[in-house]
Structure 1
Amino acid sequence: MRRAIEVEGLGHRGQPIPVASLHRGILASGGIAGIDRKSGELTPDRNEQVRLVFENVRAVLTAAGATVDDVVKMTFFVTDRALRDAVNAEWTAMFPDPGSRPARHTLTQQLPPGMAVQCELLAVPGAAPRAEES
């Protein structure tokens, strides 16, 4: 059975769409923005939006019973390729082992006003051995 994944402060601004969906062991997200979940606002600081995207990714994974070890692919949508350096900094912090990083694709995209970055993820909760198991 498919299960909608909701995270307080994330969503699609009143649309009937969950932030992610878990079905048969596969977690797929919609767009995860760099929104401050407490205020519901996008900061004009693009680097802070990138940081918040990664923070929000962790919140989505947690809500689905997954961890960063379960991520198999992330797709980033940026309004400016110059954001790639900020994404890379957060990426290497989240996935420090170069031998154990998920696939990734970064695309330049027009996003809603004020939004500089957004990502989607694909994960398989429980498929990867946890750090304490390896």
Structure 2
Amino acid sequence: MTNVARHDPVKARRADFWKGGPDKRARTFLTQVFKAVRRKGKAMTQSTVVNTSDMAVQHSSRASKTTNRKMSVTVESLAHKYPVPNACRIGNLIVSGAIHGVDPATHTMPKDLSAQCAHVFANMKTIVEAAGGSTKDIIKMTVYLRDRENREPLNAEWVRMFPDPETRPARHSQPLLVEGPSLVQCDFMAVIGEPD
């Protein structure tokens, strides 16, 4: 360890991470995820519009073995007002942007937390499926709550979507620090597995 790392705990921790220190398990996990993405990732060369439950889902990709392997995923009924996709897929790894509790049919935000939670989980399912995965492929979910003490509606939807405690994804809650009517938001990370 260098003198700088000794006096800077962030640099010391970063050095430990890559040298096999206390974060060896995390580094091993990330290495396995990235290897799986590279190994199982298939080049996507299509540009299609698919209708799922009256929601037009747009896949746009220029990926091929010789060009970009990245694919933006935009669900038209959940599209951001700025030119930002709902998620991005590279190989078999999917990472979403913020998912809101908006009703995709009416484009309105319900006032109560229960309805927003129901929409957040339904919207997450729509987005992961639009990217070619399923809720079984979700490995991490970050939830942003305005009131972190009121988790009952969140937990009800969580158990409904992920009923088996042995296969639930990791979940982390953060305070929601945005203005407006949103009481809950989430984002997720998924690794698409082999077909059953």
TM over 0.5: yes
Residues 176 and 185 of structure 2 are in contact (CA less than 8 Å); yes or no, is this contact kept in structure 1?
A: no
Structure 1 unaligned regions, length at least 5: none
How far apart in 2 are the matches of 1:83 and 1:28? 26
Amino acid at match of 2:111: P
Q: 1:9 aligns with which of 77, 87, 104?
A: 77
Residues 75 and 121 of structure 1 are in contact (CA less than 8 Å); yes or no, is this contact kept in structure 2?
A: yes
Task: Please identify the structure whose Cα radius of gyration is greater.
Answer: 2
Correspondence for 2:144: 77
1:110 and 2:172 matched: no
4+ residue runs over 2 A deviation: none
How far apart in 2 are the matches of 1:91 and 1:111? 23
Larger RCO: 1 or 2 (CA < 8 Å, sep 6+): 1
Q: Deviations over 1:18-51 (max 9, x none)?
A: 0000012110000000101111110112210001
Counterparts of 1:1-134 in structure 2 under 5 Å?
1-13=69-81, 15-127=82-194, 133=196
How far apart in 1 are the matches of 2:150 and 2:108? 19
TM-score by length of 1: 0.90
Sequence identity percentage: 37
Considering only aligned residues, what root-mean-square deviation do their CA atoms show, in Å?
Answer: 1.3
Could you tell me how far 1:83 is from its partner in structure 2? 3.4
How far apart in 1 are the matches of 2:95 and 2:86? 9
TM-score by length of 2: 0.63
Structure 2 unaligned regions, length at least 5: 1-68
Correspondence for 2:47: none
Could you tell me how far 1:111 is from its partner in structure 2? 2.3
Could you tell me how far 1:81 is from its partner in structure 2? 1.2
Q: Deviations over 1:4-29 (max 9, x none)?
A: 0011221322x110000001211000
